[in-house]
Amino acid sequence: MHPNYVGINPREKNISMEYVSIFDENLLLGIKLDRKNYYFYLATMHEISNLKLG
Protein backbone atom coordinates (compact mmCIF):
# COMPACT_ATOMS: atom_id res chain seq x y z
CA MET A 1 0.00 0.00 0.00
CA HIS A 2 1.31 3.44 -0.92
CA PRO A 3 0.82 6.45 1.40
CA ASN A 4 -1.66 9.17 0.46
CA TYR A 5 0.55 11.92 1.94
CA VAL A 6 4.25 12.07 2.88
CA GLY A 7 5.96 14.72 4.99
CA ILE A 8 8.83 15.54 7.36
CA ASN A 9 8.24 16.40 11.00
CA PRO A 10 9.84 19.87 11.54
CA ARG A 11 9.87 19.41 15.34
CA GLU A 12 12.32 16.49 15.23
CA LYS A 13 16.07 17.11 15.57
CA ASN A 14 16.89 14.34 13.10
CA ILE A 15 15.03 13.64 9.91
CA SER A 16 11.68 12.04 10.71
CA MET A 17 9.42 10.95 7.87
CA GLU A 18 5.66 10.82 8.21
CA TYR A 19 3.44 8.69 6.02
CA VAL A 20 -0.33 9.16 6.03
CA SER A 21 -2.53 6.40 4.69
CA ILE A 22 -6.29 6.66 4.52
CA PHE A 23 -8.14 3.54 5.62
CA ASP A 24 -11.56 4.20 7.20
CA GLU A 25 -10.04 7.30 8.86
CA ASN A 26 -6.79 9.25 8.39
CA LEU A 27 -3.96 7.38 10.05
CA LEU A 28 -0.53 9.00 10.53
CA LEU A 29 2.48 6.67 10.71
CA GLY A 30 5.73 8.19 11.99
CA ILE A 31 8.68 6.25 10.55
CA LYS A 32 12.19 6.85 11.88
CA LEU A 33 15.59 5.68 10.76
CA ASP A 34 18.01 4.19 13.27
CA ARG A 35 21.25 5.30 11.61
CA LYS A 36 23.48 3.32 13.97
CA ASN A 37 21.79 -0.03 13.26
CA TYR A 38 20.56 0.79 9.71
CA TYR A 39 16.84 0.07 10.01
CA PHE A 40 13.50 1.88 9.93
CA TYR A 41 10.97 1.55 12.73
CA LEU A 42 7.44 2.70 13.48
CA ALA A 43 7.74 5.48 16.07
CA THR A 44 4.13 6.63 16.23
CA MET A 45 0.71 5.79 14.86
CA HIS A 46 -2.41 7.88 15.46
CA GLU A 47 -5.53 9.28 13.84
CA ILE A 48 -5.37 12.82 12.41
CA SER A 49 -8.04 15.18 11.13
CA ASN A 50 -8.58 16.34 7.55
CA LEU A 51 -7.65 19.88 8.65
CA LYS A 52 -4.06 18.81 9.37
CA LEU A 53 -3.76 17.41 5.85
CA GLY A 54 -4.85 20.64 4.14
Q: What is the pTM of this model?
A: 0.54
DSSP string, 1-47: ---SEEEE-TT-SS--EEEEEESSSEEEEEEEEETTTTEEEEEEEEE
Q: Tell whether 54 is covered by a domain.
A: no
Q: Tell whether 43 is covered by a domain.
A: yes
Bridge partners of 34, per DSSP, are 39
Domain count, the chain: 1
pLDDT tens per residue, range 3-21:
888 888 787 777 677 777 7
Q: Tell whether 13 is covered by a domain.
A: yes
Q: How would residue 1 be classed by pLDDT, with cut points 50, 70 and 90? A: low
Q: How would residue 51 be classed by pLDDT, with cut points 50, 70 and 90? A: confident
